[in-house]
């Protein structure tokens, strides 16, 4: 088995934002030379997340971010964390900090409408994510 890892970088522009990183993950897979296996996309931050959803219509990320902010308001009576970003920590644990995508014939085996998103919940910030490609 071959294991290839790459650290990638993005900059978010607002407090809540879903950034399409499909192209960056795809390039990491192509560069790895691995044709059969999987890729882990991992976010090392505790106020951000990784998700897979539709990247054709920008209304979909909008509606996901709207829903998350309705469920998890920025300020809630009872929050104890002093940095004012408890909502971002909660969103991170609900959405999850990693995704795994299968690789077939040297390419990400995503569904027709699927893209990979870095979810910023406490921006704007400079952020890092890891892509580990494993297989043969």
Compute the least distance from the CB of residue 83 to its own copies, in Å: 8
Angle subtended at Cα 110 by Cα 105 and Cα 113, rounded to the nearest 5 degrees: 140
**Residue 26 near residue 107 (C-beta atoms within 8 A):** yes
What is the nearest approach in angstroms of its own copies to the Cβ of residue 54?
Answer: 4
Query: Closest separation between CB of residue 13 and its own copies, Å?
Result: 19
Q: Which residue ranges make up the site for its own copies (CB under 8 A)? A: 1, 3, 5, 36-38, 40, 42-46, 51-54, 57, 59-60, 62-64, 66-68, 70-72, 76, 78-82, 86-87, 89-90, 92-102, 104, 109-114, 130, 132, 134-136
How far apart are alpha carbons 38 and 29 in whole angstroms? 9
Least distance to its own copies, CB of residue 31, Å: 17
Of 11 and 52, which CB lies nearer to its own copies in the complex structure?
52
Q: CA angle, corner 58, sides to 40 and 131, nearest 5?
A: 15
Q: Give the nearer residue to its own copies in terms of CB position, either 13 or 104.
A: 104
- 37 vs 5, 15, 96, 105, CA distance in Å? 14, 35, 22, 9
CA nearest 30: which of 106, 105, 130?
Answer: 106
In the complex with its own copies, the residue whose CB is nearer, 11 or 57, is: 57
């Amino acid at each position: 088995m071959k294991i290839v890892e790459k650290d990638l970088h993005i900059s978010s522009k607002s407090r809540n934002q879903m950034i399409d990183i499909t192209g960056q993950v795809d390039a990491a897979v192509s560069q790895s030379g691995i044709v059969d296996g999987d890729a882990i996309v991992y976010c090392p931050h505790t106020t951000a997340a990784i998700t897979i959803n539709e990247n054709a219509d920008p209304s979909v990320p909008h509606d996901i971010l709207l829903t998350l902010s309705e469920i998890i308001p920025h300020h809630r009576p009872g929050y104890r964390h002093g940095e004012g970003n408890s909502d971002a920590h909660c969103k991170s644990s609900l959405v999850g900090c990693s995704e795994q995508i299968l690789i077939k014939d040297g390419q990400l085996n995503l569904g027709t409408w699927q893209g990979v998103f870095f979810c910023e919940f406490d921006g704007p910030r400079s952020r890092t994510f890891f892509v580990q490609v494993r297989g043969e």
